[in-house]
Amino acid sequence: MDEQIHILAEKFYKSLYRIRRVEEEIARIYPTDKIKSPVHLSIGQEAISVGVCEALRPNDTVFGTYRGHATYLAKGGNLEKMIAELYGKSTGCSKGKGGSMHLIDVAKGVMGTSAIVGTTIPLSVGYSYALKYRNSNAIVVCFIGEGAVDEGAFHESVNFAALKRLPVLFVCENNRYAIHSHHLSRSHSDNIYERVQTYGMQAERIDDGDIFKIYEFTSNYIKRIMLGNITPVFLECITYRWKEHVGPNDDFHLGYRTKGEAEYWIQNDQLKKLKSLLDTDISSNIESAVDLEIKNAFEFAEESHFPEVKELYTNLFKDE
């Protein structure tokens, strides 16, 4: 195996394994009621966040959705603070006020996730406007589900980004469903990326979830930006959510989708694929380090305190 690929595979595996294991642990703990807000697991979709974020630089910024654990972690968001946030503790990344759907790590460029579908799209675009205005060469990545594409805000934001040639990468995680509603029951055609092209930007689709392709697409974009060729781009990644929309369980019994449909994606699990590219000792080293980190993070959350009552009234306004 070529050395470059090997280095990447190791990086990817580390990030991907960490996210998968964190979410599996969340799923395991969830029924104990220690986690205090609804969780939308990204299990099965993590490779998109990892592939994109591994190509980013520290000063690049990401915005995510309520299904944002993977985005947050892939971009380097603090794990302890994330788990504490899920536990509703004052040590959480949002001091316990946000929960699973409102993760943030400003120092790492994770500018927040939102529970209202589509709301972070224009925020990403506005943030990228400021970057361009300041002649920064940083970019913004806007992660969305294909459901967000239905919203008017998507159209308005993509149009403005194209108009102003802004440094923003839209990443659409098209897992085919918005809750239980299939993409084709909300849209006549399966061609999001083609529609986006008509706004005046490069837009492509990667339909096999290949983490290397996702990484490469992002890297190429960054290279282009560094050369001063500033335009937005759009990447549609076909993917699949393994768990139910919200919560830790499987939901194939509900009947809105079939296990068969999932099969391709489970076979094609990027985590398994990456592991197969690594020497066993390398992967097990990664695994044990990550397992320990996760154990510590949950202990940190357990031991942290709930916020004091007076915190109810803080953080409404700055400077007050």
Partner 1 sequence: MQRILSYPEAIKEAIVQEMTQNPSVIVLGQGVDDPKGILGTTKGLVDKFGSERVFDTPLAEDGMTGVAIGAALAGLRPIHVHIRMDFLLLAMNQLINMAAKMRYMFGGEVFVPMVVRAIIGKSWGQGAQHSQSIYPLFMNIPGLKIFAPSTPYDAKGCLIQGIRDNNPVLFIEHRLLYYQRGHVPTESYTVPFGKARILAKGKDITLVGISQMVIECLRARQYLKEIHIDAEIIDPVSLSPLDINTILDSVLKTKRLMVIDNAWMTCGAGAEIVAQLIERNIPRDVVIKRMGFASVPCPTTPALEQHFYPDAKEIALNAYQMLFSGKRAWQPDTELQIEEIEFKGPF
Site for its own copies in 119-158 (CB under 8 A): 150-156
107 binds, among Mg ion, ligand TPP, its own copies, none (CB under 5 to 8 A by kind): none
| Phi, psi for 265 (deg, rounded to 5) | -75, -35
Beta carbon nearer to partner 1, 133 or 264: 133
Q: Among residues 66, 143, 148, which one has the least CA distance to residue 101?
A: 66
Q: Which residues have a Cβ under 8 Å from the Cβ of 66 and sit 6 or more positions away? A: 40, 100, 101, 113, 114, 115
Beta carbon nearer to partner 1, 125 or 297: 125
Residue 151 interacts with partner 1 (CB under 8 A)? Answer: yes
User: CA 250, CA 122: separation in Å to the nearest integer?
Assistant: 33
Q: Are 138 and 56 in contact (CB under 8 A)?
A: no
- The correct pick among 88, 147, 209, 248 for binding ligand TPP (CB under 6 A) is 147
Stretches 3-11, 112-120, 226-234, 284-292: which one binds partner 1 (CB under 8 A)?
A: 112-120
Q: Among residues 207, 127, 223, 138, which one has the least CA distance to residue 172?
A: 207
Q: Are 41 and 17 in contact (CB under 8 A)?
A: no
Q: For residues 33-62, b (16+ Cβ closer than 10 Å) or e, as one string?
A: eebebebbbbbbbbbbbbbbbbbbeeebbb
207: left (phi over 0), alpha (psi -120 to 50) or beta: alpha
Residue 178 interacts with its own copies (CB under 8 A)? Answer: no
Distance in Å, CB of 151 to its own copies, minimum: 7
Beta carbon nearer to partner 1, 284 or 314: 314
Q: How many CB atoms lie within 10 A of CB 229?
A: 11
Beta carbon nearer to its own copies, 37 or 159: 159
Distance in Å, CB of 195 to its own copies, minimum: 4
Distance in Å, CB of 141 to ligand TPP, minimum: 16
Q: Among residues 265, 82, 68, which one has the least CA distance to residue 148?
A: 68
Q: Are 126 and 61 in contact (CB under 8 A)?
A: no
- The correct pick among 145, 167, 232, 248 for binding Mg ion (CB under 5 A) is 145
Q: Among residues 292, 318, 248, which one has the least CA distance to residue 69?
A: 248
**What is the end-to-end Cα distance of the chain in Å, rounded?**
58
Contact pattern for partner 1 over residues 165 through 204, marking x by CB under 8 A = -------------xxxx---xxx-----------------
Contact pattern for partner 1 over residues 53 through 92, marking x by CB under 8 A = --------x--------------------------xx--x
194 binds, among ligand TPP, its own copies, partner 1, none (CB under 5 to 8 A by kind): its own copies
Residue 200 interacts with its own copies (CB under 8 A)? Answer: yes
- The correct pick among 120, 157, 175, 218 for binding ligand TPP (CB under 6 A) is 175
- The correct pick among 256, 259, 261, 292 for binding partner 1 (CB under 8 A) is 256
Binding site for its own copies (CB under 8 A): 150-156, 159, 162-163, 165, 185-189, 191, 194-195, 198-201
Binding site for Mg ion (CB under 5 A): 145-147, 175, 177-178
